[in-house]
């Protein structure tokens, strides 16, 4: 299949679509309830890669860094955000995956810092897969806005505009809606 150049909005839409498609199959991870919500980052990224590879124009590879290489063009780092556990109780420390503002940290901000310094890819982005109830019991909006503010204003990351796709009516009774959000890490100068 020929590889095509993708815009961030195409990548976010296609990832949201494959997550919804996977969820419709009622997959079970370990002893958790069916649905994509309980899957860990490595398992979910591998499934995303496999399903994207079946679509026209995609050649993806999972790596340690970046999490996903899309067509040798996009370097993508993922984080999963779940305010509630499989049993519906509030999770502890669930927002740390996004907000620890230090280089070398495994947060999405740490990933953005890492990608900003990375060479070898034409475009780079950080990607949040967030789960909410429908309607949200805990909205992800304050977390998303905090990530953007800390990244841009405190750390100085050249973060592009938010691109978001939502897929609802998921199988899991707690993780009923998935929000897929991508931000391109912009270069301060042309490569």
Predicted local confidence at residue 164, as pLDDT: 98
Across 33-37, 103-107, 133-137, 167-171, least confident range: 103-107
For 108, phi and psi rounded to 5 degrees?
-65, -30
Name the residue ranges covered by the structural domains of the chain: 8-185
Predicted TM-score of the model (pTM): 0.94
> What is the pLDDT confidence band of residue 3, given thresholds at 50, 70 and 90?
low
Q: What is the DSSP letter of 33?
A: P
- Per-residue buried b or exposed e for 41-58, using 16+ beta carbons within 10 Å of the residue's own CB: eeebbbbbbebbeeeeeb
Average pLDDT, the chain: 93
Region 28-36: mean pLDDT is 94
Q: pLDDT at residue 1 above 60?
A: no
Q: pLDDT at residue 187 above 80?
A: no
Region 177-183: mean pLDDT is 98
């Amino acid at each position: 299949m020929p590889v095509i150049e993708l815009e961030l909005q195409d990548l976010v839409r296609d990832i949201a679509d494959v997550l919804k498609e996977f969820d419709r199959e009622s997959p079970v991870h370990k002893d958790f309830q069916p649905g994509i919500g309980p899957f860990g980052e490595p398992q979910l990224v591998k499934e995303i890669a496999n399903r994207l590879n079946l679509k026209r124009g995609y050649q993806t590879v999972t790596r340690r860094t970046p999490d996903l290489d899309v067509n040798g063009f996009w370097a993508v780092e993922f984080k999963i955000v779940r305010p509630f556990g499989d049993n519906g109780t509030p999770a502890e420390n669930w927002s740390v995956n996004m907000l620890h503002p230090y280089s070398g940290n495994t947060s999405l901000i740490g990933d953005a810092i890492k990608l900003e310094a990375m060479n070898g890819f034409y475009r780079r982005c950080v990607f949040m897969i967030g789960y909410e109830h429908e309607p949200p019991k805990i909205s992800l909006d304050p977390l998303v806005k905090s990530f953007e503010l800390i990244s841009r204003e405190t750390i100085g990351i050249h973060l592009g505009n938010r691109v978001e796709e939502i897929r609802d009516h998921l199988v899991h009774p707690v993780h009923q809606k998935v929000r897929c959000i991508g931000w391109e890490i912009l270069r301060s100068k042309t490569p």
